[in-house]
Amino acid sequence: MIKKLVENPDFNYFITIVILIQAAVLALETFSEFNNYFFLFDLINNFVLSIFIIEAILKIISSYPDIHKYFKDGWNILDLSIIILSLLPLSGGYTTVARLIRLLRVTRLTNRSREMSVVVTTIIKSLPSMINIFLLLSLLFFIYGIAGYHLFNNVDPEHWRTLPTSILTLFQILTLEGWVEIMSPLIDINPLNGIFFVSFIIIGTFIVINIFIAVIVRKSEDAYKEIEDELTNVATNKEILLEIKEIRKKIDDLESKLSN
């Protein structure tokens, strides 16, 4: 009974609405016009937390006797962690922390639909490859940052006076935002300075970033394939169960005929 309730789409829709209510309250708290409604907001926050606790308890009960299956699901662990953090007695100087914890409840929207779950799963599975790309990008920033400091420190100290400043400038160039304005004065001094900027954009933007996008796309395809395989297995299991029921029915009919 409880398992049917937890797996019921209407129950999931209700939880989604509760999360959206929490998001709306968090948004309204940022407006000074609603300062007089903080008592009401606290009531709503406590109501939302109560719903989340009840949901977690129902899910744990529905997984009985295989309760460990509940804790094998990463989304359940995330939900439970948010509930535990929300129950911490934070007040006074920790009010901001308490509000940030309530903000974590909104992250539960990421697993309310299969599409969003796929996106999050893709990002998580891409992390090992992202780390390698990040290291490559960091090395690129370091090399060009040092080179930019030595080449342009004297003529454009605003953008190249230190290594951190140079790296920040390179990050701006990587976004292709205002890079021409940074490059133009240096090209006026020496046209060959353009090689520095063009080579960095080609390597950083057109190669490294595209590799990053390719990794995300590949992992996304893998995630969708896993879901398709899972759905196929579920469909196959349902067909097997139907066949077993049909066989049992025929056996029962045969037994009744033999007994007569």
Domain count, the chain: 2
- 258 within a domain of the structure (yes/no): no
| 53 and 130, same domain (yes or no) | no
Q: Domain of 14: which CATH number?
A: 1.20.120.350
As a whole number, the mean pLDDT across the chain is 81
- The answer to which of 1-10, 165-174, 239-248 has the lowest mean pLDDT is 239-248
- 138 within a domain of the structure (yes/no): yes
Domain containing residue 173 = 117-251
Q: Is the pLDDT of residue 170 over 90?
A: yes
Q: pLDDT for 33-80, tens place per residue?
A: 888 888 888 898 889 889 988 988 888 888 777 777 778 777 788 888
Cβ atoms within 10 Å of 67's Cβ, excluding its own: 12
Say what the pLDDT of residue 30 is. 84
| 190 and 124, same domain (yes or no) | yes
| 70 and 146, same domain (yes or no) | no
Band (pLDDT 50/70/90 cuts) for residue 95 is low
Q: How far is CA 182 from CA 52, 137, 166, 168, 187, in A?
A: 52, 21, 12, 12, 9
Say what the pLDDT of residue 142 is. 95
Q: Is the pLDDT of residue 223 over 80?
A: no
Q: Is the pLDDT of residue 169 over 90?
A: yes
| 220 and 136, same domain (yes or no) | yes
Q: How far is CA 87 from CA 56, 98, 100, 108, 115, in A?
A: 14, 10, 13, 17, 30
Q: How far is CA 199 from CA 161, 181, 194, in A?
A: 21, 17, 8
Band (pLDDT 50/70/90 cuts) for residue 255 is low
Q: What is the DSSP letter of 207?
A: I
23 vs 238: CA distance, rounded Å: 38
Mean pLDDT over 16-21 rounds to 89
**Burial track 77-113 (b if 16+ CB lie within 10 A, e otherwise):** ebbbebbebbeeebeeeeeeebeebbeebbebeebbe
